[in-house]
């Protein structure tokens, strides 16, 4: 085959997938403002995505904060700049590590679960059954999950911020011998509303990405168990890549001077 033909085919496939994803996203979002609404489903998804992700996010955040304090101390002590540890920990956690680590962990947990659930519904004809029962599958399956992703991720990241800073505090105070009051004072002094807000905006975007990728790949899965497995893998991988890409873009928007 002509190499140009192969490149063209890949490019056209990419454009096709992008177009399908954008129209899927637009359709899913458009149902947010179009009745009927499914408050019970939205609430259940919020509990699934928000409440049941708390242990994963909490554990990730506490260890990230602890490691960050320890590594910062190793580096900063060479320049007698140990006092900046509280600053580094709180800025890193609120601006970057909180949203990104929570996003990636929840992409694994929720992205995979959404793709597997909706994918199984697709291959067992449950999505077709919804249509025959006067229910729009996009409205019933996709929109509630998008709403839950967008609203729950910022709350998860808020929790991750607090727990991450607490992890740094534990290591700084109990291992490195910092004064607890000074450490907390430094943390508080360096923290600005912009740091937290930027993290929360990132979280909402990441939540949207994770739920969108889970729903999109699940909804379009084909075949049997293998198709669902592929959809699950694609959901997690594409969500993780998009999280890292959009993280850079959002950081540029918020902080590039």
Per-residue binder mask for another protein (CB under 8 A), 66-105, x = binder? ----------------------------------------
Show contacts with another protein in window 125-184 (CB under 8 A).
125-126, 128-129, 131-136
Please say whether the beta carbons of 195 and 117 come within 8 A. Answer: no
**Of 87 and 137, which has the nearer Cβ to another protein?**
137
The CB-of-107 to another protein minimum distance in angstroms stands at 22
Least separation in angstroms between CB 127 and another protein: 9
> For 15, what's the count of Cα atoms within 13 Å in the CB-facing half-sphere?
6
Q: Which is nearer to another protein, 45 or 198 (CB)?
A: 45
d(CA 163, CA 62): 5
In this structure, how many other beta carbons lie within 10 angstroms of the beta carbon of residue 257?
2
Nearer to another protein, 87 or 136 (CB): 136
Q: What is the rounded CA–CA span in Å between residue 18 and residue 240?
A: 17
Whole-angstrom distance, CA of residue 43 vs CA of residue 65: 31
C-beta of 131 vs 233, nearer to another protein: 131
Smallest gap from residue 129 Cβ to another protein (A): 4
Give the DSSP H/E element, type plus range, for residue 220.
none
Size of site (CB under 8 A) for another protein? 14
φ, ψ (nearest 5 deg) of residue 178? -70, 155
Q: What is the DSSP letter of 173?
A: I
61 contacts 98 by C-beta, under 8 angstroms: yes
CB distance 104 to 206 below 8 Å: no
To another protein, the closest distance from the beta carbon of 68 in angstroms equals 39
Residue 120 engages another protein in binding (rule: CB under 8 A): yes
Does the protein bind another protein through residue 26 (CB under 8 A)?
A: no
Selection from 72, 61, 93 nearest residue 172 by Cα = 72
**In the complex, least distance from residue 140 CB atom to another protein, rounded to whole angstroms:** 8
Does 36 engage in binding with another protein (CB under 8 A)? yes
Shortest reach from residue 130's CB to another protein, in Å: 8
224 contributes a contact to another protein by CB under 8 A: no
Q: Which residue has the tokens 């997690």?
A: 236
Q: Please state the separation of Cα 86 from the chain's center in Å.
A: 25
Minimum CB separation from another protein for residue 148, in Å?
A: 15
Closest CA to 124 of 224, 207, 201: 224
Q: Is 24 in the site for another protein (CB under 8 A)?
A: no
The greatest distance separating any two alpha carbons of the chain, rounded to the nearest whole angstrom, comes to 70
User: Of 17-25, 58-66, 124-132, 223-231, which segment contacts another protein by CB under 8 A?
Assistant: 124-132
Q: Under the rule (CB under 8 A), what is the footprint of another protein? A: 36, 120-121, 124-126, 128-129, 131-136
């Amino acid at each position: 085959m002509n190499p140009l033909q192969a490149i063209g085919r890949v490019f056209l496939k990419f454009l096709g997938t992008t177009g399908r994803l954008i129209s899927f996203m637009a359709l899913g979002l458009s149902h947010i403002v179009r009745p009927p609404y499914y408050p019970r489903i939205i609430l259940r998804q919020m509990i699934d995505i928000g409440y049941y992700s708390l242990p994963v996010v909490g554990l990730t955040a506490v260890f990230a904060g602890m490691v960050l304090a320890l590594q910062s101390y190793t580096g900063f002590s060479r320049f007698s700049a140990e006092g900046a540890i509280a600053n580094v920990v709180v800025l890193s956690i609120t601006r970057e590590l909180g949203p990104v680590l929570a996003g990636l962990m929840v992409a694994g947990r929720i992205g995979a679960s959404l793709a597997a659930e909706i994918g199984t519904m697709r291959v067992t004809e449950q999505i077709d059954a919804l249509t025959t029962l006067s229910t729009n599958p996009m409205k019933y399956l996709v929109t509630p999950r998008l709403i839950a992703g967008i609203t729950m991720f910022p709350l998860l990241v808020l929790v991750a911020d607090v727990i991450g800073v607490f992890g740094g505090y534990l290591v700084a105070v109990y291992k490195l011998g910092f004064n607890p009051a000074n450490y907390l004072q430094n943390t508080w002094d360096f923290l600005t509303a912009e740091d937290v807000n930027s993290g929360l905006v990132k979280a909402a975007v990441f939540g949207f990405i994770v739920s969108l990728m889970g729903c999109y790949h699940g909804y379009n899965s084909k075949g049997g168990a293998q198709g669902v497995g592929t959809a699950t893998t694609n959901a997690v991988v594409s969500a993780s890549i998009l999280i890292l890409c959009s993280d850079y873009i959002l950081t540029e928007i918020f902080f590039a001077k």
